[in-house]
Each structure stands twice: as structure tokens, then as C-alpha cells.
Chains A and B, each alone.
Chain A
Amino acid sequence: MKHHIVLSMIFFIVLSGVSEITFAQGGMFAAATGNTTFSSETPMENINAENKKTQVLLNTATNELAIRMNMRDFVFPNKLMQEHFNENYIESDKYPNGTFSGKLDQAIDYSKDGTYDASATGSFTIHGVSKTRTIKGKMKIEGGKINLTSNFEVALTDHKIDVPQIVFVKIAQSIKVKAEYTLSPYKK
């Protein structure tokens, strides 16, 4: 009985060790810089915010892509708006992160430098509400680095973000998001 436990523990350790190795060999790339900006544009007022701490992981072996950001890291020029964004709209105490978890739709030859049109399909989550989306963008491979850029829109109603009538500041129903990530080989 005891032997079995010891044996299985050894098995577990070996197993996890092996998977760590394959994980590393898979060609993992992580964001050295991760900029996500969004803008709400209305005839009345344009509001911009920027998150420079976006984290990205891309597994070039499996084409899996994960993006994660802390909603509190969005910086607004107007601090009152930043407070309202966190307190009233995104509710970052309750829903601290925005994430994307999915797979690239195209097979890409990472060994060749070049610019490719690419898209990724997966689960996009903000304000605690997930949507399956295909997000289009561009991928540029240059000198062992991968540059990802994308422009897409997020509808507030898709993620149950309320804009009350009483608010004087005008907020667009659809928010434009711009992502720009430079990935380099991931070292643990």
C-alpha cells in the first residue's frame, strides 16, 4: 500500500517534470511590452485610456494565445474618469481582469520573417462576462520577435456594462480597442 503511494508520487513528479520540459520546448513567447488602449468616441467627448502592463503568452507549437490585463492598470488623463471606470463601469474590485484565451486560426511559419494577416478565436472576458469572439489582427515576425497588433470593438451591452442616463459625460456604446504586443522568447 505504502509502496504504491510512493511510486505514484514519483510518477507524478516525473510526469510534471516531463510536461514542464515540453512546455518550455513548445516555443513560448511572452510580451516584453503589452500596450492595450481603448477610446470612446462621441461627438461630445473622446475618452482614451492606456494599459501598458498587458501580459501575453503565445505557444508557437500549439498556436495557443492568452492575454491578461489588470483593469486597474488602465491610465486615463482624467483621474476622475479613471475612478469612475473602476468604480462604476468595470467594477474592478469584483472583476479585476480582462482576458482572452484562444487559438490562432492560421498556421504560421514562425521561422520566416514577414507580416501576416492573422486572427484568433477564443473566449474574451471583461466585467465577468465571456464572449466567444474571432479577433483579427496582424502578426509581424522579425529577428526572433513577434509583433501582434489588432483593432477591434467591444460593445458595452455584450458585457453588461451599464451607462446610466444621468451621466453628463457621453460614453460611446461601442468602445474601440487597439492592442499592440511585442513578444520575445519566454524565460521562466
Chain B
Amino acid sequence: MKALRPAIIFIFAATTLHAQNDLLGELSKLDSNSSAPVQATFKSTRIINGHSVETVKKNHMDFRISHRFGRLNSGSYELYGLDQATLRLGFEYGLTDDLMIGAGRSTEQKAFDFFGKYRLIKQSTGAKEIPVSVTLFGSAAIRTVRPVTEEELARSFQNKLTYVYQALIARKFSERLSLQITPTYLYRNLPDLEGDKRGLFSLGLGGRLKLSKRVSVNAEYFWAARDKNSTLPYYDSMALGVDIDTGGHVFQLHFTNSLGMIEKQFIGETTGSWGKGDVHYGFNISRTFSFDKKSKRTK
């Protein structure tokens, strides 16, 4: 009898195996084990000031209104900065699901900016696992503020232009945590201040931590590779904020020491210092519209 026991176990195992062999189990076997891209690494195409790996999807337009107020330490007369507002309006459009273009106009320096952004690699799970997402970003900006000083008058068209190149590398570590590292190269045909170099390397770090399905805390830091002995009045840009996603709109509320909202300004020309309280309250509002023909279909 004892010798029979393994046989009994085997038969038992065989029958239980077959009990699981139902139709639904059969269907799950049909599942293509293809890899699935990870969605929503960030809620918006910006972490705070800087771009995130996300792009606007095909035939969708993202209308962005961004504000930065004056400095918190400017006192009650200026209502702690709220009397002074600078703005960037942006229209950003998805040509494909991975390629987007955008244009914006900033109050600061009356600058126009134009950019292209391409999602090169998508973080994926499944058969073919890819650990990170990589997006390439390039932009050109031109200042159109009327020249006043002699120095400004002497600026040629060429010398009003600046260029930015970035590789955005991000990973969604979990449902809640996403981190991004952003190597950046900034090139100014003519830097604003004497003694500043045309080219500037920078490394950005950013991330988000979701507090709930629709609210996340975001942080961002851009370290700029300036000379240690530099006497330029520039600081690294740092920002802390909250994203609130209401479905259709994303509200981003934040504090930052940068006034400008385009790379050349917040990476290259941040004059505020957190230590001195030169902090600006600001917000970005993003509204996405779908121009997909199918969305007009009522049924």
C-alpha cells in the first residue's frame, strides 16, 4: 500500500491539473507575450520647468499657460510677488504618438521658442523588457525685446538666438515613483553677460511621487557646469511642486528660484537664490484637446 502512494499522488496531480484546464485557462495561453510600454511616467510633458519624457499624442494639442510671479521676499507692498506676473503661452502638438513640436512666447525677454521632441525608447515590460524611456529634445529661442542699451543695439539677429539639446532619460520605478536624469547642452550665440561662456553643460534631476491617483509631488534640480571661480550672478535652478490631474487638465503648482520658463532662461540665467528667499510662486495649466477625427464620432 505504501508503495502505491506515489502513484496515487501522481493521479491526483494529474486530475487537478486537468481541472484547471478550463476554457479561461485555455484563453490565457493564447495571450501574446508581447511587451507593453509603461504608461504615464509623468502626468505632463513638463516635470516643473523642464521637459519630461512624455510627449503629446498624435493629433492632440496641448495648450499651456504658465505663470511665474515675483519673488516671495519682495514684501507686502508687492503682495509677496503676486503683483508681478510673467507668462509663457505655449501651443504644443503631437505629429505622431512619439514626435511632437511646440512653440511658445514668454514675457521674459519677449522670447519666442520652438522645439521638437521625440520619444526614442519606451520603457517596457513583458517579453522584451526595456528599463528606461529616452526622449530627445531640441529647441531654439529668440529674444525679441526692443534693444535699449548700446550693447543690445549692436546685437545681430544671429546673436539673439540660443539653442538647447537634451536627452531625457526616465524610469517609472513603481506606480508612485518616477525619476528622470536630463543631460543638457545649452548654446548661446551671445551670452547675456560678459564673462559667460557660449556653451553650457548642465545635468538635470527630476522626479515625481504620487500621493494619490490624481495628485503627485514633483521636484527638479538643474546643476549647471560653470567655473567654480565664476563671478556671474547665476544659480542652479531648483523647483518643488504639486501636480493635480483633473482629467483633461493638469494643474502644476510650484515654487522655484527661476523666473524664466524656457531652458535657456531657467538653466542658464537663474538669478534667484533659495537661500536668500528669491523664490517665485508659479503654476502651469495644461489643457489637452484631441483633434482625432474619430473623437467627433458621436456613437
Q: Interface on A for B, CB 8 Å cutoff?
A: 1, 4-5, 7-9, 11-12, 15-16, 19, 23, 30, 39, 46, 48, 55-57, 59, 64-68, 70, 72, 77-81, 83-84, 86-88, 93, 99, 101, 164, 166-169
Contacts and interface: CB of A to CB of B under 8 A. Distances in A.
Given A55-B27, A55-B30, A4 B60 contact: no
Interface residues of B, number: 42
B246 A166 contact: yes
A8 B246 contact: no
B24 A80 contact: no
Interface stretch (B1-9, B152-160, B233-241): B1-9
Contacts of B40: 83, 86-87
Contacts of A9: 10
6 contacts: A4-B4, A8-B6, A48-B299, A59-B23, A77-B295, A87-B39
Nearest to B4: A4
B28 interface: yes
A8 B11 contact: yes
B76 to A, nearest CB: 33
B120 to A, nearest CB: 19
A65 B295 contact: no
A66 B27 contact: yes
Interface of B: 3-4, 6-7, 10-11, 13-14, 17-18, 21-24, 26-28, 30-31, 36, 39-40, 57-58, 60, 97, 175, 213-214, 245-249, 288, 290, 292, 294-295, 297-299
Main secondary structure of the interface of A (DSSP, over half): mixed
Contact of A78 (B10, B39, B295): B295
B216 to A, nearest CB: 11
B41 to A, nearest CB: 11
Nearest to A88: B213
Contacts of B11: 8, 11-12, 15
Given A9-B10, A93-B175, A169-B248, A79 B60 contact: yes
A65 B249 contact: no
A16 B297 contact: no
Given A15-B18, A87-B40, 19 more contacts: A1-B3, A1-B6, A4-B7, A8-B7, A23-B21, A30-B30, A39-B299, A46-B299, A56-B27, A59-B23, A65-B23, A66-B24, A77-B290, A77-B294, A77-B297, A80-B60, A84-B247, A88-B247, A166-B246
